Amino acid sequence: MPLICLVRHGQASAGAEDYDVLSGPGRAQAAAVGRELARRGLRDPHLVSGTLARQRDTARLLADAAGFGGPLHQDPRWNEYDHLDLLARYAPASGRTVSEQDRLDHALLAWTRDPGTTGGETWAAFSGRVAAGLAELPAALGRGRDAVVVTSGGVLAALCGALLSLPGEGIAALHRVTVNASVTTLAVGASGTTLLTFNEHAHFAGDGRRLLTYR
């Protein structure tokens, strides 16, 4: 039974001129999750990432740390939504009592409920492309190979929400707690794809706790 390990990218550069760059902690997180994946003894891992820089760089750093020798395959269907566009479209005005995380939660929930087709990528289009990327992945694995996919928090929330048949509130709740460089594991069987674990981050316990971040 093939396993698919979905890895959230390491911490990006929030507040910097270019958000889509791994921060120093993000690079350390990528190496830490690579060592964790090596410990798991994955079978000839098929490595995939989205095309965003923070996803690609996380994939390369974890592959180096894990000793994965295969090529990195890139697929834009694993890319994150545009969070700045989402905030501009749906978030309430910022204020003293509203944190940026609360604004993002509000925007994400509003997006999942909006059937509109104008003004940017719709929730249906986003969740549909993510689901299509996952659906095609098992064909590259066969029966004796596992996969590692480096993606983003919104993608993980959308996929896990779909697998668990969660409403928008559940998807937003998953998104809020997803740890940078955490691992979510799926099993691919004859009856379909099943969620085994969500948001594993024991590799940031103990001395590694200094690397535990959510945004």
Q: Say if CB 186 and CB 155 are below 8 A apart.
A: no
Q: What is the rounded distance in angstroms from the CA atom of residue 14 to the CA atom of residue 23?
A: 9
Of the candidates 47, 50, 77, the one whose C-alpha atom is nearest the C-alpha of residue 65 is 47
Of the candidates 152, 11, 180, 23, the one whose C-alpha atom is nearest the C-alpha of residue 83 is 152
Sign of CA dihedral 63, 64, 68, 69: positive
Q: What is the rounded distance in angstroms from the CA atom of residue 100 to the CA atom of residue 202?
A: 27
pLDDT for 207 equals 87
Around 27, how many Cα atoms within 13 Å sit in the side-chain half-sphere? Answer: 5
- In 121-181, DSSP assigns E strands to 147-151
Give the pTM: 0.93
Report pLDDT digits (tens) over 147-181: 999 999 999 999 999 999 999 999 999 999 999 99
Q: Is the predicted pLDDT of residue 32 greater than 70, yes or no?
A: yes
Q: Is 125 strand, coil or helix?
A: helix
Q: Is 72 strand, coil or helix?
A: strand
Report pLDDT digits (tens) over 124-135: 999 999 999 999
Average pLDDT over residues 12-36: 91
Question: Going from the N-terminus, what domains does the chain have, and what CATH number goes with each?
Answer: 3-80+123-211 (3.40.50.1240)
